[in-house]
Amino acid sequence: MPPDSQIAIINGSVVTGDGTTFHEKGIVRISGTRITSVTQGQADVGTDAFVVDASGCTVMPGIINAHAHGCICGPSMPSGSLPVQPLDVDYFRNRHLLSGTTTLLNVCGLALPDEIDRPSTPHHPLDIHVTTAHTASNLAAAIAIDGGGLSTRHKIACIDDMVDKGAKALGEAGGGQTLGGGAQDYRFIPAAIKAVTGRSIHPNAARALKEAVLGRYLDRRVPDLAQLDVLLAECRLAPHINADDVGRLVRKTVMPPVALSLKGFEEIAAASERLNFPAIFHNATPTVATLIRMTKTYPKARVIAGHSNHPMFLPDEAVRFGVELKKRGVAIDVSTLDCIETRWRNDTANIDALVEAGIVDTLSTDFAGGDWDSILSAIQRMVRKRQLTLPAAVALATGNVARIFPELAGDRGVLEKGRRADVVIADGHNLGRVRHVVANGELAVFNGAMTVGNLREHAASLRH
Ligand SMILES: [Zn+2]
């Protein structure tokens, strides 16, 4: 669909995304793919514009999600796993767009910039970009845990070439797969246990087993056998496997890629400094010491500490390390994960602690096994709990992201003349309920529904 030529969004409250500006009533005018003006008050609207009445709504810049997975067609995750199924990719893209996201950085890191879409994929209004983590150690870490989606093209790719071809940031250096994080809990450990015992376990049980074997920092040398006995009884595995064997199995599942992945951190930091390019790092207990050390070795690297509310941290640790990293110029990102509404595996303790400490720069979703909650639902929660003002909370996913990732989003993220026309219009009483979305001047979501042409044809084209 071509950009609607002229749109005027009237009668809404306007949050510009700069962190402070709020207009009780304002008008946002769009021409083609650009914002042409943002003004206070109620004014006459020219008859040639398509008028969107935003009464009762809050008008904000389109959300920029700079840490997501599952939205592209190349190898998935820092483990270089097989691509996500096309129907799932489409579902994730739709969910992001319908929840107000107009720009998304897929940080799996080992896909190529020409693998964002499949050749047959219909145009999607969500503007999707990729990162690159193509270094020797990151590729070796991926292959040590999986690597099933990697071809020769991926294995010989290098960061400099990928940046030339359009990658917008470096990373994600490491991931739950390669560093004993969430993907070990929801995927690899349960799969290994199922293969041996035939039994399925909940990801939280896998996490508890992992911590009893390796500790939260993955630095435990001897498993806590007494604790393992308790856990095995609790998850009814006791008749099927003993503590010694589960200890060996968990270690063998988690540890092979860990040292390689940490070495990959160094390679990404060095490249960030050399290229003056933003770099996203997996921030969790096994990596935070490396991350802090790297800020000394590579003081000019542009470091983003991804999902600093990672569930492997206790809340006071997340804050203490966050403060330490921020002092060293690192941008602190937090992710919704499944913390906000779903709460299947994670809760809000860490994100609350970091927001209340006043050290958060950006807000993303990450993946959480596909269970990620929306960014606007997290913003709504921050505002309702009076953790941040509305303009400050909105800036975490708009203006701040544009400032930290200018290569990705320097032309958007704030409602002002000349910027890309990405606008989200959400219910004033609950920003998590998105009513309309304008993406690059196109009215991509109207009244809660996507405006993509023939939905049946669209779905059929995604079957494989
Ligand atoms: Zn990560």
Distance 19 CA to ligand 1 centre (A): 26
Same domain, 262 and 374: yes
Distance 327 CA to ligand 1 centre (A): 22
Q: Containing domain of residue 388, as a range?
A: 64-179+257-409
Distance 146 CA to ligand 1 centre (A): 16
Distance 310 CA to ligand 1 centre (A): 8
Contact 256, 238 (CB under 8 A): no
The closest of 327, 329, 281 to 305, measured between CA atoms, is: 281
* Model pLDDT, residue 44: 67
170-173 and 278-282 beta bridge pairing: parallel
Distance 108 CA to ligand 1 centre (A): 9
Same domain, 312 and 362: yes
Domain-embedded: residue 458: no
* Model pLDDT, residue 1: 43
Domain-embedded: residue 461: no
The closest of 96, 94, 25, 18 to 57, measured between CA atoms, is: 25
Same domain, 220 and 368: no
Distance 446 CA to ligand 1 centre (A): 33
The CATH number that applies at residue 50 is: 2.30.40.10
* Model pLDDT, residue 446: 95
Give SS3 for 213. helix
Distance 385 CA to ligand 1 centre (A): 27
Long-range contacts of 86-93 (CB under 8 A, 24+ apart): 86/118, 86/121, 86/462, 86/463, 86/464, 87/459, 87/462, 87/463, 88/370, 90/124, 90/458, 90/459, 90/462, 92/370, 93/124, 93/126, 93/128
Unique residue bearing structure tokens 């050290």: 359
Residue pLDDT tens, the chain, 464 long: 445 589 999 999 999 999 999 999 999 999 999 999 999 998 766 668 899 999 999 999 999 999 999 999 999 999 999 999 999 999 999 999 999 999 999 999 999 999 999 887 778 999 999 999 999 999 999 999 999 999 999 999 999 999 999 999 999 999 989 999 989 999 999 999 999 999 999 999 999 999 999 999 999 999 999 999 999 999 999 999 999 999 999 999 999 999 999 999 999 999 999 999 999 999 999 999 999 999 999 999 999 999 999 999 999 999 999 999 999 999 999 999 999 999 988 999 999 999 999 999 999 999 999 999 999 999 999 999 999 999 999 999 999 999 999 999 999 999 999 999 999 999 999 999 999 999 999 999 999 999 975 556 666 666 65
Same domain, 280 and 196: no
Domain count, the chain: 3
Neighbours of 447 (CB within 10 A): 8
CA distance 59 to 62: 9
* Model pLDDT, residue 112: 97
Domain-embedded: residue 111: yes
The DSSP annotation for 73-93 comes to SS-BTTTTBPPPPHHHHHHHH
Distance 3 CA to ligand 1 centre (A): 35
Same domain, 420 and 332: no
Same domain, 155 and 296: yes
CA distance 102 to 91: 15
Residue 92 has φ and ψ, to the nearest 5°, of -65, -45
